[in-house]
Amino acid sequence: MLSCGNPAVEEQALMPRRSKFGKSKDCVRCRLKPGNIAIRHAVYCKECFTPIVDMKFRKALEPSVNARAGTSKRPKLKASGNLCLGFSGGLGSSILLDMVHNTYFSNRPPLDDSGKPRGGINHPRNASVWPSCIVCYVEVCGAFPGMQDRTEAIRSVVERYPSFDFVPLRIEDAFDESWWTKVSGSNSTPQVWLELSKEGLITDGLHVASKVTGLTPAEAIRLYLSSLPTQTAISSALQNLTRVLILHTAHSGGSSHLLFGSSLTSLSISLLSAISQGGGYAIREELQEEWAPVAASGSKPDNVLRVIRPLRDVTAKECAVYAWWNNVFVIGRDKQRRAILGIAALTKNFVVGLEKDYPSTVSTIARTCEKLEPKDAPSGQCRLCKRPMQSAIQEWKGRISIRSYSDDKLAADLAHIPLPCRSNLDTSTPCQVPPLLALTDFLCYSCHTTLTSRSSRGVKQSAPGVSSITPLPIWVGDRGLHRDGLMDGGARRKIPEQEMLDTVANFLIDNQDDKE
């Protein structure tokens, strides 16, 4: 092709560095005081900065608070359920806690002489936007031996806000039947196991764990993570487990809103990272989503959980300055988890580095992704990440690359296989091609890639004597794998002859008629 391009960057080609701020050093808002901080070439003083960030926060959150938008320009805010905040200890979520508390929970209604709210609890003036607020933290130390448990340290941070209830979770809860029973009310969900080394994740690799396996949830999560093929997959799996644990906890606690403290910077990083991992179909959910677990009947319940990122217009730099000037205590995220390499970490380094020369990059990524929507209607909810799933994913994967000569699609092309390669060719039995009913059909592209895509350094081999099967999160087995035809008490079910006959009976010509 006639393209050209050299990745080596020449000095002259770099964008000229712009000055840090615009024409004036005075605050662009009040125009009175000298500026203290430059945000994308605009200068703000300390007094004007905090209200601006607060305003961005409310502007991003409040249009989604009421269940129905209504016609009023300034509707009275009233959520249909409780509030849940996802907390990691990092900068964004620390600020989120502080902002939510100061904006919606610190202004207690005036009390009368008896110590009760004046006018009664039910007086409209005294009603909170959300009746209560829980703060969920997912401790990941169970996945990494030797890692420090930070639950108590996090608890002490949350206790600074008396209106919030702390709900500690552990990453291994994703494999804990008792936790699942608590949040879903279901007590007969089978633990699904999968043979990850097999390409295509065929149902022959699925097993129901017997009660005697004796794996603790912590052992299960470690086995699961160690079975994943790349660092990218581990990082992505942890992120998904954390997200789904919080989603279920929030939903089961009657929350109508779940807030995450993703800043504009971290949101842009996660958007670009999701696209790089094949998650383009669910890009809208990465920004904001309306989530509900799919019920046993396959339908979605009415009480939908809105997942919102109210700091989506506030950059990481603004968050840092806000925390510093408002004395927000930031305990920080655990370093060991941050050290996991992979696409997410590469994307972060790339975006943060690029932002130095091209300061609008972060904002542009988020704005561009806001203008996108999935091409087709979803074919269901992914069993692993619980996000909408595109149809015909395996067909697409099969179309773009040939992985086996037994693929039906190759039938017309086999005549062109070079002669030296034909002697040992066996096209009679399909291999590696997923059968009709496979777990692959219930996974989104991104999750399927997480489980199967390998690094260029080769396939990780199991140690001798170590089982190559791994448990999957407890929610994968929810909603009737039996109904979906994936499982029946053990491996794939052999259909009895009589049952097959019953199914096709209407299409058979009755032999009796012939005899007569």
Partner 1 sequence: MAPTSCSLCRDAKAILKRPKTGQQICKDCFFFVFETEVHHTITESELFKPGDRVAIGASGGKDSTVLAYVMKTLNERYNYGLDLFLLSIDEGITGYRDDSLETVKRNQQQYDMPLKILSYDELYGWTMDAIVEQIGKKNNCTFCGVFRRQALDRGAASLNVDHIVTGHNADDIAETVLMNIMRGDIARLGRCTLICTQGEDTIKRSKPFKYAYEKEIVMYAYFKKLDYFSTECIYSPDAYRGHARTFLKDLEAARPSAIIDIIHSGEAFEVKEEIKAAQKAQQTCKRCGYMSSNDLCKACTLLEGLERGMASSVITDRARKKMDAIGPAPDNIRTIPLFRSTPTIAVELPSQS
d(CA 243, CA 245): 6
Report the phi/psi class of residue 151: left, alpha or beta, with left for phi > 0 and alpha for psi in -120 to 50.
Answer: alpha
Residue with token string 């991003």? 60
115-154 residues in contact with partner 1 (CB under 8 A) are none
Q: How far is the CB of 270 from partner 1 (least distance, A)?
A: 13
Stretch that binds partner 1, among 7-15, 38-46, 174-182, 500-508 (CB under 8 A): 7-15
d(CA 184, CA 449): 28
d(CA 64, CA 258): 11
Closest CA to 155 of 235, 97, 83: 97
**Bridge pairing between strands 388-389 and 380-381:** antiparallel
Residue with token string 């080769």? 458
d(CA 200, CA 202): 5
Q: Which of 358, 411, 482, 490 binds partner 1 (CB under 8 A)?
A: 358
Residue 356 binding partner 1, by CB under 8 A: no
Residue 270 binding partner 1, by CB under 8 A: no
**Cα dist. 441→276, 394, 438 in Å?**
21, 8, 6
Residue 279 binding partner 1, by CB under 8 A: yes
Amino acid at position 128, single letter: S
**Cα dist. 10→5, 15, 34, 244, 280 in Å?**
12, 11, 38, 46, 33
Stretch that binds partner 1, among 188-196, 210-218, 258-266, 370-378 (CB under 8 A): 370-378
Residues 219-258, mask of contacts with partner 1 (x by CB under 8 A) = -----------xxx--------------------------
Q: How far is the CB of 20 from partner 1 (least distance, A)?
A: 21
Q: How far is the CB of 394 from partner 1 (least distance, A)?
A: 12
d(CA 477, CA 175): 11
Report the SS3 class of residue 4.
coil
377-436 residues in contact with partner 1 (CB under 8 A) are 390, 396, 399-405, 409-410, 413, 416-418, 420-426
Residue 501 binding partner 1, by CB under 8 A: no
Cβ-based nearer residue to partner 1, 118 or 367: 367
283-312 residues in contact with partner 1 (CB under 8 A) are 283
Residue 82 binding partner 1, by CB under 8 A: no
Residue 371 binding partner 1, by CB under 8 A: yes
Cβ-based nearer residue to partner 1, 55 or 341: 341
Q: How far is the CB of 413 from partner 1 (least distance, A)?
A: 5
Residue 4 binding partner 1, by CB under 8 A: yes
Q: Which of 32, 55, 372, 491 binds partner 1 (CB under 8 A)?
A: 372
Q: How far is the CB of 313 from partner 1 (least distance, A)?
A: 16
The C-alpha angle with vertex 259 and arms to 255 and 264, in degrees rounded to 5, equals: 165
Q: How far is the CB of 48 from partner 1 (least distance, A)?
A: 28
Residue 442 binding partner 1, by CB under 8 A: no
Q: For the chain, how big is the Rg over CA atoms in Å?
A: 27
Contact 271, 286 (CB under 8 A): yes
Q: How far is the CB of 379 from partner 1 (least distance, A)?
A: 12
Q: How far is the CB of 432 from partner 1 (least distance, A)?
A: 10
Residues ≥6 apart with Cβ < 8 Å to 108 = 117
Contact 158, 87 (CB under 8 A): yes
Q: How far is the CB of 396 from partner 1 (least distance, A)?
A: 7
CB atoms within 10 A of CB 155: 13
Stretch that binds partner 1, among 148-156, 280-288, 330-338, 470-478 (CB under 8 A): 280-288
Residue 9 binding partner 1, by CB under 8 A: yes
